[in-house]
Amino acid sequence: MPTFWYFVLALMMTVYVILDGFDIGAGIVHGLVARNDEERRAVFQAIGPYWDGNEVWLLAAGGTLYFAFPLLYASSFSGFYLPLIMVLWLLILRGCSIEFRSHLSEPVWRTFFDFGFSFSSILLAIFLGAALGNVLRGVPLDENASFFEPLWTNFVPSGNTGVLDWYTVLAGVVALLSLALHGAAYLVMKTNGDLRERSRKLAMRLWYAVLPLCLLALIATYYVRPPAVVNAHKPVLWLFPPLVVLSLATQWWALRRNRDALAFYSSCGYIVGVLGGAAVAMYPYLLPDNVHLEHSLTIYNAASSPYAMKIALLWWPLGMALAITWFYVVYRSFRGRVEAEP
């Protein structure tokens, strides 16, 4: 049962990164690809109806994490206190920038909200990547399964670690570029004219940056990971690197051949490859300890009671079925490329 909820959680996080990833990505690149107010409005039109719903996947994953693994929730949320609160601030800034922009028509304020949108999207992408980096690297847990990470110490990913070290910063940069690529691919699929063409060119350039950095991060992860995360005996893990490479190759081809939808979906495949690989590699660890192996949080010692996990089987599939229905309705209602309003 804990295994089931572990992979449910991994799935929800992956869906979150794919969905919110494209609107965060659009935020990262919109300053580069949208040159005038009309094009910027088109970017906001392309993500406007979706971003809030996409973000809910993060909240729903957080809620699922809490009921299934309360100890992990309590320990990691307080341990990563400062970065998490900053993520909340960024989410607030970002939501306001998107929603209030249309209420203030003066160019000065539009510029202000455009900046807020870019700034929060860029930092959020870096934080999300660094968060994954932190979990893969492990944290120094005490015997009560609690810890507190300062924002940075000496930037070395072992011993007395901080939230930011060279490894997690690398993970943050990979996330930033990957989501930028993802967002650009989304804009290629959803927009028209110059905006689409510029997004396509940017996506092709980003592609060349993502490939080497992604491989570098994979190698770095192999060296940085705590001894707890031993992955040699998991044959299924070998599925993921080919998925990543295949997705990226497809995207390279699709961007050149103007197969816009395929380019975006292969970007989704790339995210599934990276996050799925991380989830399988980590299993059954939730939050490994990088000093004392035995302090690590696993799906067994952090799990909720069997009754709680069983009863959630009643409502979770129903809730998900409804959520998917809502998403289907929304995405269907706004399907197709956005038309620039005069």
Partner 1 sequence: MPSRSRITTCFRSSRWDSAPIILLLKTLAIRTGDEKYSRAARFWAKIFGINFAVGVVTGIPMEFQFGTNWSHFARFAGGVIGQTLAMEGTFAFFLESSFLGLFLYGEKRLSRTAHWFAALGVFLGSWLSGFFIVATDAWMQHPVAYTQSADGTFQLNSFSALLLNPWAWWQYAHTMCGAVVTGAFVMAALGAFYVLTKKHDEQGRLFVRIGLVTALFASLVQLFPTGDGQGRLVLQHQPATLAAMEALFKTDRYAPMVIIGQPNTDEKRLDNTLQIPGALSFLTYRRWSAEVKGLDQFRPEDVTDSIALLYYSYHIMVGLGTIFIAITIVSTLLLWRRKLFEARWMLWVLMLSFPFPYIANTAGWMTAEIGRQPWLIYGLMRTAQGYSHQVSAGNAMFTLLGFMGMYTVLGILFLFLVMREVAHGPEPAITHVEKIRFEYAAAGR
List of residues contacting partner 1 (CB under 8 A): 45, 48-53, 55-56, 59-64, 66-68, 70-71, 73-79, 81-82, 84-85, 88-89, 91-92, 95-96, 99-100, 103-104, 146-148, 304-305, 307-308, 311-312, 314-316, 319-320, 322-323, 326-327, 329-330, 333-334
- 147 near 139, Cβ under 8 Å? yes
Which residues are within 8 A (CB) of 129 and not within 5 positions of it... i.e. 6 or more apart?
A: 168, 171, 172, 173, 174, 175, 176, 178
Q: How far is the CB of 42 from partner 1 (least distance, A)?
A: 13
Residue (7 or 81) nearer to partner 1, CB: 81
Q: Whole-angstrom Cα distance, residue 153 to residue 291?
A: 16
DSSP string, 56-104: HHHHHHHHHHHHH-HHHHHHHHHHTHHHHHHHHHHHHHHHHHHHHHTT-
Residue (236 or 330) nearer to partner 1, CB: 330
Q: How far is the CB of 217 from partner 1 (least distance, A)?
A: 27
- 169 near 130, Cβ under 8 Å? yes
Residue (219 or 321) nearer to partner 1, CB: 321
Residue (146 or 231) nearer to partner 1, CB: 146
Q: How far is the CB of 323 from partner 1 (least distance, A)?
A: 4
Q: Whole-angstrom Cα distance, residue 121 to residue 128?
A: 11
Q: How far is the CB of 332 from partner 1 (least distance, A)?
A: 10
User: Partners of 147 in the beta sheet?
Assistant: none
Q: How far is the CB of 330 from partner 1 (least distance, A)?
A: 5
Residue (174 or 299) nearer to partner 1, CB: 299
For residue 145, the 8-state DSSP code is S
